[in-house]
Structure 1
Amino acid sequence: MKTKISLLSAAILTASLALTPVVSQAALPHSVNGQSVPSLAPMLEKTTPAVVSVAVSGTQVSKQQVPEMFRYFFGPNAPQEQVQERPFRGLGSGVIIDAKKGYIVTNNHVINGADDIEVGLSDGREVKAKLIGADAESDIALLKIDAKNLTAIKQTDTDAIRVGDFAVAIGNPFGLGQTVTSGIVSALGRSGLGIEMLENFIQTDAAINSGNSGGALVNLNGELIGINTAIVAPTGGNVGIGFAIPANMVNNLVQQIIEHGEVRRGVLGVSGRDLDNELAKAFGLDSQHGAFVNEVVADSAADAAGIKAGDVIVAVNGKSIKSFQELRAKVGTMGAGAKVSFQLIRDGDKETVKATLGESDHVEKASGEVHPMLEGATLQDTDDGIKIIEVTSGSPAARSGLAKGDIITGINRKNIKDLKTLKSVLKGSEGAVALKIKRGKTALYLVLR
């Protein structure tokens, strides 16, 4: 049977039902009729007000090529594509992280392409939300609402959590209303799932389902340990394998969005692979986990720190890592300029080096950070120009006419070679701008207004 990994935001066609929160298992002592019984209720009474529902609406735009025979009948001016617009609604969850400023964290896939975002608070209030920024590679988005008497969730150091720790998931599955389930931390550092570009998931068996995206995974103290994001769903429903983005990773990204309005991703400058048993034997290593460095980019942060090809990086800031994907996720969610220590094995000896992460202008970026009408496209620097490697259906980028595989080579009459230049030129532009696009063997202009 083919394994199906599913993101958790729910598309809805009918209004959600308001139900009493459901609590699954018991763990904490609580007094009932003078007797002590285990219960999560005291913790949840303080924590659940910090978890909200997120309702979105927008318009999906789909394009289909008009068959050649029909274009022939309608003459040389006949359209090559048929454009259809279809309204959509969706539902997910979010977590209040700053009560005074009204900041709410959710998943990027919950709000991606939405024209309107509305947050439902636990006390019944419904408030319009503004998107502050998002990062498609890690699937994190930051919203802001203007409301009083909010409750923020408590924070903790998620590098300290262990497999076997109790975990409680809070969210709004299937539009039913706030629901609470419990379980344990099943695994740490899960990656290679193909869900996101940067993966370093907490795995849990706490029951989470469609609509839980952006909700909270907390410990028994009610402290946030992760943002629920995806499940393995071979049958389409919960089977006890869910994934959450670690709170430390979320905090790194959120602080960058708050400070810069975007994620300024840190770059180490290495390529490599997971350290497996075969590779460990070949290099005479006792360790079975870590990131094997194949290559170090010249003049990069890794090069300046003295990291060499053949090194095995086994820990970041004193916390062990299992794979190259985990190294990539940890570094990629730290901001440019961050000072990081790396523990590595070289020729059988353990060493520690310190690096100051660089900022890359050659990595993929969520293009809404570049221009509002590019929102929904993902851009990447190439030798030929800026390539569109993905366009979300219904997004402003799709409505602008951009398509996967397009290469941006200029703006108005100015040649553009990289994302940094593109962003700089667009920032200083006023009114409509014309993007020069290379599409296959054809050159064309698309106007952004």
Structure 2
Amino acid sequence: MKKNLFAQLLYLAWLLALPGHASDDAIANLRQTGKAFASVARAVSPSVVFIQVEGKASRGVTPFFSPFGDEGPFGEDFFKRFFGDQFPGIPRTPRSDKPQEERRVMGQGSGFVFAAKDGLLSNKTYILTNSHVVENADKIRVKFQDDREFVAKVTGRDPQSDIAVIEINAHGYHPLTLADSSKVEVGEWVVAIGNPFGLSHTLTVGVVSAKGRTSLGINDYEDFIQTDAAINPGNSGGPLVNLNGEAVGINTAIFSRSGGYMGVGFAIPSNLAKTIANQLIEHGEVTRGYLGIVIQQLTSALAESFGIEASQGVLVAQVSKHSPAEKAGLRQGDIIERFEGEPVKDVGSLRNRVALTAPGTTVELVILRDGKQKTMEITIGKLTKDKQLAEETSQRAEDIGLTVQTLTPQLAEQFDAIVGEGVLVTEVRRGSIAAMAGIKPGTIVLQVNRKEVKSAAEFQRAVKESSSDKRLLLLIREGETQRFVALSW
């Protein structure tokens, strides 16, 4: 102990004896860093706009909800989108059935001039922002750093990715270059510029905290860059830029208990924004690819049930009839490991890649079926709105906490099912493993351990056969969606 203390004192004395120029060099380095941020601000700020929106809204305060549900881990106000001082978030269903009055409201956000495809900037200046910033707008005004103001109109919006393009009849404003966001690294310096709380052209600095954030429940299509650069209400739609002054993302959302900055912000990556924006300019809408499958994350429990190691891939829970996937021979229970040669990491990343693939394109999938790898080719279809996806006695499965009943014609009609195809869950014991897995009364159990069940008795026998392993793989249907559930006890 004394030896360690003595060593520490010697080290301290050595530090104190260092020449003064060492600390001077450190301060000089900090000055250079500060000048780098100032240089970014000078280069980028003239391209950033303050957006004011006038529109209609129902009278009263719009409540918020957590994307994790009513019992989310951080409470109801944890997640809030930011749209000026209105904080609309994502509304719940109104509690009252009475019609609400409409009132004029003012919202605010940010945006930035960007370089669209060659030939698309002939007569207009295009501005990238968030779809929710200009949603339901009757009048949009944009203000530049030089105090010039213009009336803008919406070129196109894509609510599913929360990207919008607006346009003004003006020239001479320098567009920001959209960087290759796939090359952004965790830990890299980034700068957020926008208009938080209406404070025009505010700059904040941070780092890239994470990449590829999906399944947050913010947008339908997610691939967020996470940053700790301070982002607040009003920053929405503004650029997240690197030290070269190139936009790597569009600031979009925050996690917050208070509605303000808490160190966790999200930006739509520039590669996704570029693809969506150019489609909006050229066609006024976004065309997305379609496979016709329902997929779910391959958890360790599901992987164990399928007798494989959960290294990567997603599980095919359902294949739609007459879909590109069915025509190519993809089956329920297949595990998609690679898409066009690249590993499939999670549900969100595969969904994004399929959506961004042009309809008519033939892609290669590597799947795992019954423990064996198989390569297949599938021609991507076009996603349209209509594709957005006999015993009467009850049997109780005590180990997992389920009570099921054979489907009668009356029950089948009531629950939109088919007699002889599965059994109906009539009761789920509170606190049971079935309840913890999210199974609810009204669910149809189609298979147990990859075998179809047609009656409550068959279901009970299948559960008993698994009692020694204490593991069960169920295929269930909820509404129009099917998914696998792995239970263990």
Where on the TM-score scale, by shorter chain, does this alignment land: which range?
0.5 to 0.7
Q: Is the 8 A contact 1:30 1:39 kept in 2?
A: no
Of 215, 238, 244, the residue aligned with 1:192 is 215
**Pair 1:96 & 2:113 matched:** yes
Aligned CA distance change for structure 1 residues 191 and 240 (closer, same or farther; 3 Å): same
Q: Write out per-residue CA displacement over residues 227-254 of structure 1, whole angstroms, 9 at most, x where no aligned residue.
A: 1111000122111111111211112212
**Pair 1:361 & 2:358 matched:** no
Provide the secondary structure at the position in 1 that maps to 2:385: coil
**Pair 1:51 & 2:48 matched:** yes
Q: Write out per-residue CA displacement over residues 290-331 of structure 1, whole angstroms, 9 at most, x where no aligned residue.
A: 322222334433345554433333454555443213322333
Q: Is the 8 A contact 1:171 1:180 kept in 2?
A: yes
**Pair 1:39 & 2:56 matched:** no
Q: Is the 8 A contact 1:30 1:38 kept in 2?
A: no
Q: Return the alpha-carbon distance in structure 2 between the equivalents of residues 321 and 313 of structure 1.
A: 7
Q: Return the alpha-carbon distance in structure 1 between the equivalents of residues 180 and 106 of structure 2.
A: 35
Of 104, 111, 122, the residue aligned with 1:87 is 104
Provide the secondary structure at the position in 1 that maps to 2:204: strand
Q: Return the alpha-carbon distance in structure 2 between the equivalents of residues 261 and 45 of structure 1.
A: 33
Q: Bigger radius of gyration, 1 or 2?
A: 2
Aligned-residue offset at 1:362? 3.2
Q: Is the 8 A contact 1:189 1:322 kept in 2?
A: no
Q: Return the alpha-carbon distance in structure 1 between the equivalents of residues 145 and 246 of structure 2.
A: 18
Q: Return the alpha-carbon distance in structure 2 between the equivalents of residues 311 and 163 of structure 1.
A: 33
Per mean C-alpha deviation after superposition, the further-off stretch among 305-314 and 217-226 is 305-314
Aligned-residue offset at 1:168? 1.9
Of 257, 279, 296, the residue aligned with 1:234 is 257
Aligned CA distance change for structure 1 residues 251 and 321 (closer, same or farther; 3 Å): farther
Q: Return the alpha-carbon distance in structure 2 between the equivalents of residues 161 and 285 of structure 1.
A: 33
Partner in structure 2 of residue 297 of structure 1: 320
Task: Give the fraction of aligned pairs with identical amino acids, expressed as a percent.
Answer: 43
* Structure 1: segments with no counterpart, 5+ residues: 1-28, 64-79, 366-382, 384-449
Aligned CA distance change for structure 1 residues 161 and 140 (closer, same or farther; 3 Å): same
Aligned CA distance change for structure 1 residues 151 and 363 (closer, same or farther; 3 Å): farther
Aligned CA distance change for structure 1 residues 177 and 36 (closer, same or farther; 3 Å): closer
Number of matched pairs: 320
Aligned CA distance change for structure 1 residues 173 and 36 (closer, same or farther; 3 Å): closer
Partner in structure 2 of residue 174 of structure 1: 197
Q: Return the alpha-carbon distance in structure 2 between the equivalents of residues 302 and 201 of structure 1.
A: 28
Per mean C-alpha deviation after superposition, the further-off stretch among 210-219 and 96-105 is 96-105
Partner in structure 2 of residue 106 of structure 1: 129
Q: TM-score, normalised by structure 1?
A: 0.64
Aligned-residue offset at 1:288? 3.6
Q: Is the 8 A contact 1:252 1:335 kept in 2?
A: no
Q: TM-score, normalised by structure 2?
A: 0.59
Provide the secondary structure at the position in 1 that maps to 2:354: helix
Provide the secondary structure at the position in 1 that maps to 2:273: helix
Per mean C-alpha deviation after superposition, the further-off stretch among 306-315 and 179-188 is 306-315
Per mean C-alpha deviation after superposition, the further-off stretch among 346-355 and 294-303 is 346-355
Bigger proportion of residues as helix: 2
- 1:334-349 matched pairs, under 5 angstroms: 334-338=357-361, 340-346=363-369
Aligned CA RMSD, in angstroms, stands at 3.0
Partner in structure 2 of residue 201 of structure 1: 224
Q: Is the 8 A contact 2:55 2:104 kept in 1?
A: yes
Q: Return the alpha-carbon distance in structure 2 between the equivalents of residues 223 and 316 of structure 1.
A: 29
Aligned CA distance change for structure 1 residues 181 and 347 (closer, same or farther; 3 Å): farther
Q: Is the 8 A contact 2:50 2:195 kept in 1?
A: yes
Q: Return the alpha-carbon distance in structure 1 between the equivalents of residues 387 and 103 of structure 2.
A: 28
Of 262, 272, 284, the residue aligned with 1:261 is 284
Letter aligned with residue 142 of structure 1? V
Partner in structure 2 of residue 270 of structure 1: 293
Bigger proportion of residues as strand: 1
